[in-house]
Chain A
Amino acid sequence: MDLTPIWLTLKLAGITTLVLLLIGLPLAYWLSKGRSFVKIILEAIITMPLVLPPSVLGFYLLMAFSPKHGIGGWLQKVFDVQLVFSFPGLVLASVIYSMPFMIGPIKSALQQLPVSLAQASYTLGKSERQTFTKVLLPNIRASVLTAAILTFAHTLGEFGVVLMIGGNIPGVTRVASIAVYDSVENMDYHSANAYSLTLFCITFVMVVSVFVFNKYKAKSPLE
C-alpha cells in the first residue's frame, strides 16, 4: 500500500485544525457575545457546509478559486498562487468545510459559562484579552479539545470538496478518501480496504480519546 495518501491526509487534517484553532477561537468568542444581524448571517454562512452537499460547496469553491476570475484570478495575478488542484487550495477548502465543527462547540461552551465569570475578571481590572486567556479559555478546555479532534476527524473524511478542488494528483492532492474511491474504480479492493481500515482506525481512536478526555464531563463527543 502506498502510504503517501495517508500522510497527505494527516498533513491536511493537522494544518486545517491548526488554522481553524487560530481563526476559530477569536471568531467563536466574538460570536458568543450578544446577537446582531451581522452575526446571525455570518453564523449561517459558517454553518452552511453542514447542510450543503459537499459537491455544491466544492463547485462554488472551484469557481471562486479558478485562476480565470474572482479571488483565484487575483491571487494568481498578484501572488502567483494557484489554489485549484494544489495543496494550499485543499487546505483553504478544508478550513471552510470544517469550520462549523470548530466554531460550534467552542461558541456553545463559551455561552454556557456564567456571564459573571467574565464580569468578575473585569472588576479586577483585567482586559478582555486577559479574561479570555486566563479565565474563559481554561474553563472550556475540554470543548476546545473536542472541537479540535472533531475538526481533525472531519477533515480526514472529506471527499466531495477535496475531489472538486484538488482532483486526484498523487503526492499533491490524492488524500486517503480519494485513494479509496480511485482503488475501487480500478477494482483494487485490497488497497481500498487498506486505506479504509486505516482511516477507520485513526478516526475510532480519536473519538475514543474524546470520550476518555471528557470522562465525566461529556456524554457524547458532540457535546
Chain B
Amino acid sequence: MITVDIEKKLRGYGGQQVLKIAKEFPTGSITKIYGPSGAGKTTFLKIIAGLVAPEKGKIVFEGDTWLDTDTKISLSPQKRKVGFVFQNYALFPNMTIRQHLEYATDDEQWINRLFKMGKLDTLATHKPDYLSGGQQQRLAILRALAIKPKLLLMDEPFSALDPEMRSELIKELRSVWKEFGMTVLIVSHDQRELDGNADGELFITNP
C-alpha cells in the first residue's frame, strides 16, 4: 500500500495554484491517472519519486515513510528507487540499448528477457538517436523495469506506440507487474488506452 497526501504550489498561466492530492494505492494495483494538461500529473509522479519536493505532505510506502514534511523526512530518489518512465523518455544519448539496461542492472538473464519483451533484441548496439519514437519509448519502459521496482511510475508511456504494439506490450507488462507484485501508476491522456487493465483511477483536475 502506498499512501500519498501532498500539497504542492504550481505555477501556471492563471498564476500560482495548489496541487492537493490525498489517495491510497493498494499494493499490486494498477491506477490510471488522467486530467487536463497542466493539472500537475507529472509533478505528482515526480513528488512520489523524490524528484520534486512538495511544500507539505506525507508519503508512506509499505510502512516506510518516504516523505514527511512535519518531521523533515525526505528519502532521496536513490533510496526510493521507483521505476520511472519519463514522458520525454530521458534516454542517455551516449549509451546503446544494451548499455542502458546494463547501467540499471547486472542481471544478464533479466536483461535478455527485457530485450525480448520490448522486441529490441536486434537493436542492442544502437544508440537512442538511431531509434524510432516507438522504440525509444519501449526502451524507456524497459530501463525502468530493469531495476525490478516495487513501485512503477509511468508518464504517458504508450503515446508513441501503434495500437497493435501497445496492446501486445501492455499484455506482457501485466504479467511482469503481476510476477513482481508491482504497484503501477500510469499517467495517460487517452481515456481508452488502459481499458480493462486498470484497477483504479485518479482524476487530477486544474487546482
Query: B51 to chain A: which residues have CB within 8 Å?
Result: 119, 122-123
B90 touching A124, Cβ below 8 Å:
no
Q: Which interface residue of B77, B80, B104, B146 has the most chain A CB atoms within 10 A?
A: B77
Nearest-neighbour CB distance to chain A for B183, whole angstroms, equals: 15
Contact pick for A114, options B80, B81, B88, CB 8 Å: B88
| Those of B38-96 within 8 Å (CB) of chain A | 46, 49-51, 76-78, 80-84, 86, 88, 90-94
Instruction: For the complex, count residues of A whose C-beta is within 8 A of B.
Output: 17
Contact pick for B90, options A114, A125, A126, A141, CB 8 Å: A114
Nearest-neighbour CB distance to chain B for A127, whole angstroms, equals: 7
B81 touching A125, Cβ below 8 Å:
yes
B78 touching A126, Cβ below 8 Å:
yes
**What are the interface flags for A95-118 relative to B under an 8 Å C-beta threshold, 1 for contact and 0 otherwise?**
000000000000000000010110
B173 at the A interface (CB under 8 A): no
Nearest-neighbour CB distance to chain B for A112, whole angstroms, equals: 12
A123 touching B88, Cβ below 8 Å:
no
What separation, in Å, do the CA atoms of A134 and B100 have in the docked complex?
11
A123 touching B94, Cβ below 8 Å:
no
What separation, in Å, do the CA atoms of A117 and B46 have in the docked complex?
14
Nearest-neighbour CB distance to chain A for B61, whole angstroms, equals: 14
Query: A123 to chain B: which residues have CB within 8 Å?
Result: 49, 51, 77, 80-84, 144
Contact pick for A119, options B77, B83, B146, B147, CB 8 Å: B77
B78 touching A120, Cβ below 8 Å:
no
A138 at the B interface (CB under 8 A): yes
Query: A127 to chain B: which residues have CB within 8 Å?
Result: 78
**Closest chain B residue to A126 by CB distance?**
B78
Nearest-neighbour CB distance to chain A for B13, whole angstroms, equals: 21
Contact pick for B94, options A114, A119, A124, A138, CB 8 Å: A138
What separation, in Å, do the CA atoms of A119 and B77 have in the docked complex?
8
Nearest-neighbour CB distance to chain A for B145, whole angstroms, equals: 11
Nearest-neighbour CB distance to chain A for B16, whole angstroms, equals: 20
| Those of B18-40 within 8 Å (CB) of chain A | none
What separation, in Å, do the CA atoms of A126 and B51 have in the docked complex?
13
Instruction: For the complex, count residues of B whose C-beta is within 8 A of A.
Output: 25
B78 touching A135, Cβ below 8 Å:
no
A139 at the B interface (CB under 8 A): yes
B86 touching A125, Cβ below 8 Å:
no
Query: A122 to chain B: which residues have CB within 8 Å?
Result: 50-51, 76-78
Query: B147 to chain A: which residues have CB within 8 Å?
Result: 124-125
Query: B82 to chain A: which residues have CB within 8 Å?
Result: 123
Q: Which interface residue of A116, A117, A119, A120 has the most chain B CB atoms within 10 A?
A: A120
Query: B50 to chain A: which residues have CB within 8 Å?
Result: 122
Query: A134 to chain B: which residues have CB within 8 Å?
Result: 103
Nearest-neighbour CB distance to chain A for B144, whole angstroms, equals: 8
B143 touching A139, Cβ below 8 Å:
no
A119 with B104: in contact, given A125-B147, A139-B92 (CB under 8 Å)?
Answer: no
Query: B88 to chain A: which residues have CB within 8 Å?
Result: 114, 116
A139 with B93: in contact, given A123-B51, A124-B103 (CB under 8 Å)?
Answer: yes
What separation, in Å, do the CA atoms of A222 and B93 have in the docked complex?
22
Query: A114 to chain B: which residues have CB within 8 Å?
Result: 88, 90
**What are the interface flags for A121-144 relative to B under an 8 Å C-beta threshold, 1 for contact and 0 otherwise?**
111111100000011001101000
Nearest-neighbour CB distance to chain A for B47, whole angstroms, equals: 12
Task: List residues of chain B with CB under 8 Å of any chain A CB.
Answer: 46, 49-51, 76-78, 80-84, 86, 88, 90-94, 103-104, 143-144, 146-147
A-B pairs with beta carbons under 8 Å apart, 16 shown: A116-B86, A116-B90, A117-B90, A119-B46, A119-B51, A119-B84, A121-B103, A122-B50, A123-B49, A123-B82, A123-B84, A124-B147, A125-B81, A125-B147, A139-B92, A139-B93
